[in-house]
């Protein structure tokens, strides 16, 4: 079989005044799979469009076997292209599509006999799953005669089973064709590719070893681990530390979520302008992470919005209109001029609901997108962080479509009938996936702006992430955000000890401090600002708290047994995740003092011996401190209080040591409860027996 070589160079593309692609050179041979990687907005899709000839660029050279060819000559004959969005006519059956696209009779029979296609031959395209549709699209392209295949996101949004099946197709046809593949799901790309190319800052960088993707910041450090093969190494690491573990009890303790409801702390941040923004905010808060690059990128974007006072100038009703329009299912605005004119004239005489939905939806959508384009360009001029640059460039790239760019990238003006038709065909037709992605970005930015606004209003700070080997937290001025004029505290654990034993009188501030620490740990692992003057932490694999533990009556568990089960859950989770922050507000409350004391002593001593995690445990049973003071892994802290004029006084400040103050009985007396009980001792019950005195009675219970 004749070998062919596809080459492209001198490719320059600018978007929003930035060079998206700068003097790119790329080569692919038949029999080779080239994996094209890069962050959102790096220009991957744009580069494929340039190669295919559907993206105009002032300076490009695309050659086949050394001969420069025009875009018209390349398309179909030499290169086929799978775009991100579907390209198959939705109203045709699978059988009809196969006969339409595949011209060779033998190949038609082969495609019809494909075991993954044959059960669906009578179905329309719209009846296929995302995975089935993507598999069919790739299969049809591979049966075209062109020797080079460009695949834009063949794995995104489809089931893992069909990701594997698409990979099998690529491997089956790689001996006959040359592939250039790009996708945000990088693992299949790495697995199936012979060569990797990373797009970074407009340049195409050849990747010789997978570890280079870490050093260049494309994937988090530690994504790849060296295998026994030495040089090639780079085995994909398991997902054992892919997330940050948290449970519903912790959400409830921190007042974030409780039985599906948003808690008071969540509502502090919920300053979004759109319903979609609120959903994104909830999803972010329910998805903490221990991936440094992700957290730093999110933190930097929110800080940029806060420092620059960004306001998206959108409202909930605008986005509701756009969402309704984008998903309404009404037929597209007539694309032929004569038909469009008749349709418009008819509706000027008597406007139909469908006409209003389309025209109003298009105008609202164009208005929001124009505003976003202007605002995004301002962000670029202000030097926004890399993560936001990537998202902005991705949005501009999606909008830089020949059908709508002249409308969106020009000064605002009333839309003509022709422009409404063109936009409608893009927004709800070929570009509906692009519009969906842009709306998702808008909702994400809405959530980030809301958090930025909250950080400024409540005077929160942005977290720092330490790379220290041992688990460590350094906090200055940490406070609880729900308490007005809250007293702030400093706290530090640097790896020399891993358990902090916290004591203090009733109402001295122990529980509030533990919740404050829990929230700060949690927010920093979402990439959000934290309620503290300064916060620095190593990254952990999870947070688990036990502050307000309820009985489990439905299971028949006593309070003490529920506490015991919770301790067991914590120990098992720490054993599994290794690097956790664990917070207990009183270990055992549901049993007698002797058992609670003995159990607390042994559990605390045992937890202190577990390296890699940090434990914060409060207790009223200060007597056990003497049995723990020789443990080098334990530090002691307390909240001071004292009596002033028979009334307890609290500083709410954390200091070193153990508190011996006891104010429980005093609080009971000050509330007058003991006096009330004393007065009631001789009281005669209503409807009583007068002066008749009854002898002692023995209570009886059924056996």
Which range is most confident: 339-348, 433-442, 534-543? 534-543
Q: Per residue in 48-70, is it b (16+ CB within 10 Å) or e — as a string?
A: bbbbbbebebeebebebeeeebe
Residue 200 tokens, joined: 């970074």
Residue written as token pair 């999110």: 298
Q: 618 Cβ partners below 8 Å, 6+ apart? A: 502, 503, 504, 510, 511, 514, 584, 585, 586
Q: 148 Cβ partners below 8 Å, 6+ apart? A: 4, 6, 28, 30, 78, 79, 80, 177, 178, 179, 180
CA 462 to chain centre: 18
Mean pLDDT of all residues in 563-591: 85
Give all domains of the chain, ordered by start, each with its CATH number: 5-236 (3.40.50.300), 289-458 (no CATH), 464-678 (3.40.50.300)
Percentage of the chain modeled with pLDDT above 90: 40
Q: What is the DSSP string of 141-173?
A: HHTSS-SEEEEESSSTTS-HHHHHHHHHHHHHH
Which range is most confident: 27-36, 231-240, 625-634? 27-36
For 671-701, write each residue's pLDDT tens digit.
777 777 777 776 666 655 555 555 555 555 5
Q: What is the mean pLDDT of the chain?
A: 85
Q: What is the DSSP string of 524-592?
A: HTTT--BSSSEEEE---SEEEEESSPPPBGGGTB-HHHHHHHHHHHHHHHHHHHSSEEEEEE-S--SS-
Distance CA 540, CA 583 (A): 14
- In this prediction, residue 231 carries a pLDDT of 28
Question: Which helix (H) or strand (E) element contains residue 203?
Answer: strand 203-207
Q: 628 Cβ partners below 8 Å, 6+ apart? A: 501, 601, 604, 605, 608, 634
Closest alpha carbon to 662 in 623, 633, 620, 693: 620
- In this prediction, residue 467 carries a pLDDT of 87
Residue 225 has pLDDT above 80, yes or no: no
CA dihedral sign, ordered 59, 65, 67, 69: negative
Q: 372 Cβ partners below 8 Å, 6+ apart? A: 395, 438, 442
Q: What is the DSSP string of 588-618?
A: --SS-HHHHHHHHHHHHHHHHT-TT-EEEEE
Mean pLDDT of all residues in 163-188: 92
Residue 423 tokens, joined: 């936009």
Distance CA 426, CA 431 (A): 5
Comparing 490 with 547, which gets the higher pLDDT?
490
Which range is most confident: 230-239, 242-251, 459-468, 604-613? 459-468
Closest alpha carbon to 157 in 181, 189, 184: 184
Q: 335 Cβ partners below 8 Å, 6+ apart? A: 421, 422, 425
Closest alpha carbon to 607 in 566, 655, 640, 658: 566
On the CB side of 149, how many CA atoms lie within 13 Å of its CA?
Answer: 28
The pTM for the full model equals: 0.70
CA dihedral sign, ordered 269, 274, 277, 278: positive
């Amino acid at each position: 079989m004749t070998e062919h070589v596809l080459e492209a160079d001198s490719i320059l593309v600018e978007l929003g005044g930035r060079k998206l692609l700068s003097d790119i050179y790329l080569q692919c041979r038949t029999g080779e799979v080239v994996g094209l990687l890069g962050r959102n907005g790096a220009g991957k899709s744009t580069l494929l469009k340039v190669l295919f000839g559907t993206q105009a660029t002032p300076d490009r050279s695309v050659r086949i076997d050394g001969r420069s060819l025009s875009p018209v000559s390349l398309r179909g004959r030499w290169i086929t292209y799978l775009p991100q969005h579907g390209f198959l006519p939705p109203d045709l059956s699978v059988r009809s599509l196969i006969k339409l696209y595949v011209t060779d009779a033998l190949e038609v029979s082969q495609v019809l006999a494909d075991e993954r296609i044959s059960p669906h031959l009578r179905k329309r395209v719209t009846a296929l799953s995302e995975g089935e549709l993507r598999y069919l699209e790739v299969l049809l392209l591979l049966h075209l005669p062109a020797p080079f295949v460009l695949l834009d996101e063949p794995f995104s949004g489809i089931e893992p089973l069909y990701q594997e099946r698409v990979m099998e197709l690529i491997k089956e046809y790689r001996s006959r064709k040359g592939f250039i593949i790009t996708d945000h799901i990088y693992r299949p790309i790495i697995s199936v590719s012979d060569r990797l190319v990373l797009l970074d800052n407009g340049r195409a960088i050849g990747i010789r070893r997978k570890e280079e993707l870490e050093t260049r910041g494309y994937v988090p450090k530690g994504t790849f681990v060296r295998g026994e093969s030495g040089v090639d190494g780079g085995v994909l690491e398991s997902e054992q530390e892919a997330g940050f573990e948290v449970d519903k009890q912790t959400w409830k303790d921190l007042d974030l979520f409780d039985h599906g409801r948003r808690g008071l702390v969540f509502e502090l941040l919920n300053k979004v302008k759109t319903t979609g923004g609120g959903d994104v905010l909830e999803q972010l808060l329910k998805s903490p992470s221990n991936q440094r690059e992700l957290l730093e990128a999110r933190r930097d974007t929110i800080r940029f919005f806060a420092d620059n006072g960004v306001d998206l100038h959108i409202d909930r009703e605008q986005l509701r209109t756009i969402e309704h329009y984008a998903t309404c299912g009404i037929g597209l605005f007539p694309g032929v001029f004569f038909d469009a004119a008749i349709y418009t004239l008819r509706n000027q005489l008597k406007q139909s609901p469908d006409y209003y939905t389309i025209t109003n939806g298009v105008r609202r959508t164009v208005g929001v997108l124009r505003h976003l384009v202007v605002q995004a360009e301002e962000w670029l001029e202000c030097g926004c962080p890399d993560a936001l640059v990537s998202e902005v460039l991705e949005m501009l790239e999606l909008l830089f479509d020949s059908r709508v760019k002249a409308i969106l990238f020009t000064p605002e003006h009333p839309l003509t009938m022709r422009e409404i038709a063109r936009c409608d065909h893009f927004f709800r037709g070929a570009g509906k996936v692009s519009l969906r992605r842009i709306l998702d970005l808008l909702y994400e930015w809405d959530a980030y702006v809301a958090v930025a606004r909250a950080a400024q209003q409540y005077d929160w700070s942005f977290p720092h992430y330490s790379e220290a080997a041992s688990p460590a937290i350094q906090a200055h001025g940490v406070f609880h955000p729900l308490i007005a004029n809250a007293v702030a505290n400093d706290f530090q654990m640097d790896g020399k000890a891993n358990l902090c034993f916290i004591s203090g009188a009733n109402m001295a501030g122990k529980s509030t401090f533990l919740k404050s620490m829990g929230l700060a740990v949690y927010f920093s692992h979402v990439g959000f600002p934290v309620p503290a003057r300064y916060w620095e932490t190593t990254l952990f694999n999870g947070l688990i708290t036990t502050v307000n533990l309820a009985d489990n009556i439905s299971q028949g568990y006593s309070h003490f047994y529920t506490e015991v089960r919770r301790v067991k859950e914590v120990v098992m989770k720490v054993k599994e995740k290794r690097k956790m922050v664990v917070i207990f507000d009183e270990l055992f409350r549901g049993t007698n003092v002797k058992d609670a004391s003995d159990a607390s002593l042994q559990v605390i001593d045992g937890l202190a011996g577990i390296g890699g995690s940090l434990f914060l445990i409060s207790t009223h049973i200060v007597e056990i401190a003497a049995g723990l003071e020789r443990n080098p892994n334990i530090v002691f802290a307390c909240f001071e209080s004292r009596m002033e004029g028979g009334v307890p006084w609290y500083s709410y400040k954390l200091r070193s040591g153990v508190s011996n103050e006891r104010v429980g009985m005093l609080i009971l007396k000050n509330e007058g409860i003991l006096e009330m009980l004393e007065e009631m001792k001789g009281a005669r019950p209503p409807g009583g027996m007068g002066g008749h005195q009854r002898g002692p009675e023995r209570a009886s219970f059924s056996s």
